[in-house]
Amino acid sequence: MDEVKRAAVEWWLRKVLLPFFGRKFPEFLLAVCADLGFNVRDQKLIRLRYCQQKGWKEIASVLCVEERQIHNLHKNCIYRLSLPKNQ
């Protein structure tokens, strides 16, 4: 059951919450990422994807990594955002 809950939370983060905060409150979204200990690359990924609404190929070229790696980095960011603060 926990896997289903996590999948639902991660979907909601990707499709609803992060795009909304990226458009309306980008500084808040980036502050949350910094508070959670995201490194500079991960913060840049979140900023490019949700605040500047860039595509995966463009993000990959800006961060100088392969597109496949961008998806893995993004997945890890979403996973960390979905964890409770004390974990």
Cα separation, 85 vs 49, whole angstroms? 23
**Sequence letter at residue 47:** R
pLDDT value of residue 1: 65
Residues of the chain with pLDDT under 70: 1, 85-87
Domain definitions of the chain by residue range: 2-82
pLDDT of residue 87: 55
Asked if 77 contacts 50 with a C-beta cutoff of 8 angstroms, the reply is no
Decide: 43 and 33 in contact? Cβ < 8 Å.
yes
Q: Where are the alpha helices (DSSP H) in 1-87?
A: 2-12, 18-24, 26-35, 40-46, 56-63, 67-82
Report the pLDDT value the prediction gives residue 83, as an integer from 0 to 100: 81
What pTM did the predictor assign?
Answer: 0.90
pLDDT digits (tens, 9 = 90+) for 47-60: 999 999 999 999 99
Angle between helix 2-12 and 67-82 (nearest 10): 110
